[in-house]
Structure 1
Amino acid sequence: MKQSMNTHYYIYIGMSILLMLVSSCRGDEYIVFSEETDTGGEVVLSDIVGMYVLNEGNMGSNKATVDYLDLSGNHETVRYFRNIYSERNPNTVKELGDVGNDIQIYGSQLWMVINCSNKVEVAIADSCRKIAKIDIPNCRYLAFDGGYAYVSSYVGPVSISNDAPLGRIYKVDTLTFEKVDSVVVGYQPDELTILDGKIYVANSGGYRVPNYDKRVSVIDISTFTVERSIDVYPNLHRIRADKYGQLWVTSRGDYYKNPACLIWMYENNSGEMVVGDTINTAVSDMCIVGDSLYYVGVAFNYETFSNQITYGIINVRTHQAVTTQLFSAPEIAGIEMPYGIIVNPINRDFYIMDAKNYVSSGELLHFHADGTFDWRVWTGDIPAHAVFVYKKREE
């Protein structure tokens, strides 16, 4: 009997120590500590001191998380911290929630769109500590201008139906975090960008398959009304502006007759944005730096029932391909599902986010500006969106 009691005692002590290693207690809440990984990468000091990575998490799993890449030089090498949001915000239920869809920094604030949880989380950019939550149904992407955040929303529930409602763009005050207005746009609006006092919205119509939307909605910021729509191509997704005042829009296509592609739009002599060239390559994500549009693309081929993966750089001034091979073959073979790309605008080194099998940890891969592979690190599930953190300017 004595031996049995001692055994139970030691098991209890062992479990207590294990729990202390995994988490510490603050009140009634457990703090799950982030996981630190030494990438072995060399620190190159610049105005960029870090990068947040938003992991989407598989839909329905409530596993959206935020990781942080430390480029500050506080360590001898580049360090990666997995799942910092739950550590910094121990009172937040279920961490971030269901499907992280966008992450951006505006001033000193870090904004995160959590799609199926119908909310936008706002944190302090330096610490990732939560300061606000804004309820927006089926929210998708962000853009900022003049002290306001503009958030695209599918409005309706996640459901494939030809009765799916028109989407909206919500206007949010970045000081009070209150929704102050909204405007109806096309069906299932995705990315939006702001150029010369207008908001351009890429409408997908993804819930209305096969009747996809193909319009870019144009909103006048001063009146916050839709002034017109531009027919572009079915199932639009991303939309970005370059330094020449041009727009670059991606289409997922209809997966049958109309393939995924990249569309260039420009302002005509009447001052209206019109459709120009179509580049026949799938673009899942892109990043424009200077004259270069870096992209990764994944297109499903229904004839072979396989994914066709592409990478490349397009010159936005000439509209010509610079390269269709960002890096060497061995590294391409190591990437299973490229889901995102972000390029350092200072040094032109870049990062590829690999979603792997969509249900387990993904990877972040770093490449030098010439495409040379540097390092890779495990992330949360489905790494897809990232934003650089810049050094604070002295007052």
Structure 2
Amino acid sequence: MKYNYNKFNCLSFAVMLAGALLVTSCSKDTDPETPVLPEKPEPIATATRGVYVLCEGLMGDNNSTISYYDIESGDSEKDYFKKINGRALGETANDLKAYGSKMYCVISGIQGKKQSFLEIIDIATGKSLKTISFNSETDGYMPRYVAFYKNKAYVSRYDGKISRVDTATMAIDGELQLTNGADKAGGQEGLAVANGKLYVTNSSHPYYPAGLKDKVTVIDLEKFTKVKDITVGFNPVKIAAAANGDLLVVSWGNYADQQPDLRRISSVTDVVTGTYNENVGPLAIHKNNAYLITDWNSSIKTFDVAAGTVGGNFIKDGTSINTMYGVTVNTFNNNVLITDANNFSGNSGHAYCFGTNGKRKFDFETAGVPQQAVFVYNYK
């Protein structure tokens, strides 16, 4: 955060017949004895200290958690959230992202139960700062993903709403109904921000038969109003934005006659500019470089977003990963963290960190079904 200090300087000169006298006059609101303080610089990251990994666990076991790995010591704690906060994280945690000094964990829960929350956590300590309920008296709204813009967090929900959270007060300060909840037309999934707009995928979640199912909804974030829908592949779920303003949308099809695909959208024109025959699961983008987990969690490919071209296999050293379930790019050093769900074991998973050359740098054990990561930095 930058601190700005106003400088008030007011100088007047009066020349008297007896000689020259310098007279300084200042505003009544300013103490002339108070020194002008310099602007406080933004903190600069000097190294990566550790890694948080969101572990989804198995649905119905209420065993989601956040693991932590200390890079310097090499120590890992599988249930770090419980160790620090003295309680479990919750049921079916689905997303974890950093914004400023906090990270935001989306806990979806299970349909028909009051298990839906947004957990706001201090990155430096892992301590919970606030838990925001996303539940009615009888059910959960099943929040899914979170994205950020100008000190606001935006959370997608399966009931057709987007909730806006003020990151300073840590309270919901607005909601936008995208579909008619009474008709169960919902199923909002992935979110991404580009060019002052929020892009929301509308999945084919079976609980919401009237959903849009093959659309990405565009929201003007300054007005917090819907702009339009963009037609993409059937059952869009994942979306991410690149530095050039383009977005990649992953659609999973219906596992029968409608095949999965990957599409590129321009945030300038809000039209599809490319379609690719790729079966993609999780993805991550840093600058204009994308990493796509493909072929049913068995491989990871690179993708040049600016050129619109699919590259080859990212891993170059022969490292074998059983079930690739998450990928996150470290924005400090461009390292790529890939998580292994270990054939969806509820007990333990693994995380592997690779350099940009596709060669492994370190790895560590996590709790069950690991996915998204947040990096912890040292600053000067």
Q: TM-score, normalised by structure 1?
A: 0.75
* 2:202 maps to 1:198: no
Tell me the equivalent position of 1:128. Answer: 126
Residues 1:176 and 1:375: Cα distance change in structure 2 (over 3 Å): closer
Question: How many correspondences in the alignment?
Answer: 317
2:271 to 238, 262, 274: 274
Q: CA deviation at 1:102?
A: 0.7
2:117 to 116, 119, 127: 119
* 2: CA distance, partners of 1:132 / 1:88: 14
1:350 to 326, 331, 336: 336
Secondary structure of 1:47 counterpart = strand
Contact preservation (8 Å) 2:97, 2:374:
yes
2:149 to 145, 151, 167: 145
Percent identical residues: 29
* 1: CA distance, partners of 2:144 / 2:211: 20
Tell me the equivalent position of 1:287. Answer: 284
Q: CA deviation at 1:210?
A: 11
Residues 1:59 and 1:170: Cα distance change in structure 2 (over 3 Å): same
Q: CA deviation at 1:58?
A: 0.6
* 2:225 maps to 1:235: no
Tell me the equivalent position of 1:38. Answer: none
**Higher-helix-fraction structure:** 1
Q: TM-score, normalised by structure 2?
A: 0.78
Contact preservation (8 Å) 2:69, 2:77:
yes
Q: CA deviation at 1:182?
A: 0.9
Gaps of 5+ in 1: 1-44, 156-166, 300-307
Contact preservation (8 Å) 1:206, 1:212:
no
* 2:365 maps to 1:378: yes
- Bigger-Rg structure (1/2): 2
- Residue by residue, what CA displacement relative to the aligned partner does 1:78-114 show, whole Å, maximum 9, x if unpaired? 3322211111111x3xx10101111112211121111
* 1: CA distance, partners of 2:336 / 2:162: 31
1:320 to 309, 319, 327: 309
Tell me the equivalent position of 1:252. Answer: 252
Residues 1:229 and 1:280: Cα distance change in structure 2 (over 3 Å): same
* 2:352 maps to 1:365: yes
Contact preservation (8 Å) 2:336, 2:353:
yes
Give the CA RMSD over aligned residues.
2.1
Tell me the equivalent position of 2:68. Answer: 68
Aligned 1:31-50 pairs, distance under 5 A: 46-50=46-50
- Residue by residue, what CA displacement relative to the aligned partner does 1:348-378 show, whole Å, maximum 9, x if unpaired? 3322111113233111123333222344332
Gaps of 5+ in 2: 1-44, 110-114, 135-140, 180-185
Contact preservation (8 Å) 2:108, 2:143:
yes
Q: CA deviation at 1:244?
A: 1.0
Aligned amino acid, residue 278 of structure 2: T
Residues 1:348 and 1:108: Cα distance change in structure 2 (over 3 Å): closer
* 2:78 maps to 1:85: no
